[in-house]
Chains A and B, each alone.
Chain A
Amino acid sequence: MMTDYKKLASALDPPIPASDIEKIAPVLEALGKSFAPLRAAIPSGTDMWTGPEDAA
């Protein structure tokens, strides 16, 4: 499901001007495309990283 960044941006306080959202939406869409398969592959029960002790 694609995020409607323009709609989201106009609802923020302060809003992101339309001219600015035109520039950043493609960057976010590309990032979302890279991130989606990583999210989909998270095994259930995986905790969040919470600090350096997790690096061990």
Chain B
Amino acid sequence: MKRALLAFAAVATLPVFTISPYVLNMAATAGIFVMLAAGLYIVVGYCGLLDLGFAAFFAIGAYTSGILATRFELPLVATLPAVLCATVLAGIVIGGPTLRLRSDYLAIVTLGFGEIVRVTATRLEITGGPTGIYGIPPLAADPVAFFYLVLVVTALALTGAARLGRSKLGRAWQYVREDEDAAEATGISTYRVKLAAYVLGSVWGGLAGVLFASQLSAISPASFTFLQSALVLVAVVLGAARNITGVILAAAFVAVTPELLRAFPDARYFLFGVLLVVVMLLRHRRRATA
């Protein structure tokens, strides 16, 4: 808890050193990505469900708020209730039937779901087709203010995820991850527990999508590809030594590294991949010697 507050305070001093919009923007991007990872951590880290289409909820959040804000000239904050409803509904529609099956099927269905959402957004008129939606009003226009907004929201999202993990529900998620049959035999309705993880994770993802829409003011299907889902999953897997701190660091790493490698446009993702492998190996060795 103390360490978390210290880290929060340390990050909060960033605008003291620089108010370069580029740096603050990158920090906000990293923050949004950390929030996404916190959401996926509920699903994958706690509950052990493999979700390969998490970007779908990111997209649903971003599009719901973007469409409502631009069509009805609403401030972005006013779209939050609708975003909550949309993500919960999507979570139930996808998770409801799928989570009755063994966990392996979820990976396939979520993979498909991610693509369906992206392709649907590309085809529909209301989502602006391939060009997407632009002119989304920001939550905060000033880069410093937006940076702090992202920082606070992400901190709340992380705290929320961590607290859920230390509750009855969070323990039930971990029972399911550890041994689903034993959890069921102990009287835990594993179906309901898994659905709760999936729906809560999607709410986190949807709210991160609202921040994303606010940051870019324009969204298009290109932001919600399988690569995005895969990167969030990479962050969770890389960071999940079964605690949420690792996920924060890993998510920041995954979000910022490709940006820092912009100087090498051709080899960017190649270098990123190599770095990922190196980090994974180092982490593995540290754990092995610990």
Q: Do the two shown chains form a genuine complex with each other?
A: no
